[in-house]
């Protein structure tokens, strides 16, 4: 049970994306505003996103989409947007050392809205094997993270220690948590094996 996984999205064709209203803000610029809060100060709206020759086309007409409400909902902020069910599975498997605050966000659709949650880390976790991790030469920017088993044993859910670590899609989970997620048949999630030494 010493395997760890990158928590990735599994997006099928016909999946709705949660979108901010108006222009898409740069998510890392929003992070300082989120510190100390337990709720996003704005709502998200389900939209249809089509990738074409002219770039992304975004529409509020989601009538022909098959997958509206996923447990791991894709969104234009590239933040980890999780259903209450997914949040509960994670909470039941935390070690208590992860230091997470759950931020609420209201996601709306036509005639329906659901509460989702975003994990916000309160502290930068020391999880890397600094000698084996591959960095951009002369910087602390990570190309390929390599995690220290001794360090990650304390966590079932952790982030990659990068510049914007408080709210990030760079999330990693233990095999215990992966198995719990698969048992609950969470939608929109996928797992990629992480390098742990």
* pLDDT per residue as tens digits for the range 3-52: 999 999 999 989 999 999 877 677 777 877 787 788 988 899 999 988 87
Task: Indicate the pTM of the whole model.
Answer: 0.91
Low-confidence ranges of the chain (pLDDT < 50): none
pLDDT of residue 1: 59
For the chain, give every domain's residue range. 4-193
Residue 180: name the closest of 78, 79, 73, 87 by CA.
87
Residue reference for tokens 């609420």: 104
* pLDDT value for 178: 97
Specify whether the CB–CB gap between 156 and 61 falls below 8 A: no
Of residues 185, 173, 184, the one with CA closest to residue 80: 173
Beta carbons of 172 and 186 less than 8 angstroms apart: no
Q: Decide if 161 contacts 128 (C-beta within 8 A).
A: yes
- Confidence at residue 36, expressed as pLDDT on a 0 to 100 scale: 79
Model pLDDT, residue 29: 76
């Amino acid at each position: 049970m010493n395997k760890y996984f990158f928590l990735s999205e599994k997006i099928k064709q016909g999946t709705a994306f949660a979108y901010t209203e108006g222009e898409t803000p740069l998510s890392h610029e929003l992070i300082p505003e989120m510190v100390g809060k337990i709720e996003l100060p704005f709502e998200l709206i389900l939209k249809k996103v089509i990738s074409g020759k002219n770039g992304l086309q975004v529409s509020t007409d989601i009538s022909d989409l098959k997958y509206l409400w996923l447990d791991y909902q894709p969104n234009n902020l590239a933040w980890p947007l999780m259903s209450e069910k997914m949040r509960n599975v994670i909470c039941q498997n935390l070690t208590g050392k992860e230091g997470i605050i759950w931020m609420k966000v209201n996601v709306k659709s036509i005639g329906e809205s659901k509460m989702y949650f975003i994990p916000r880390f309160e502290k930068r976790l020391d999880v890397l094997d600094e000698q084996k991790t591959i960095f951009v030469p002369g910087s602390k920017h990570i190309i390929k993270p390599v995690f220290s088993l001794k360090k990650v044993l304390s966590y079932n859910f952790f982030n990659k220690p990068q510049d914007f670590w408080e709210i990030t899609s760079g999330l990693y989970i233990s095999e215990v948590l992966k198995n719990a997620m698969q048992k609950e048949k969470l939608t929109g999630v996928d797992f990629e094996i992480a390098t742990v030494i």
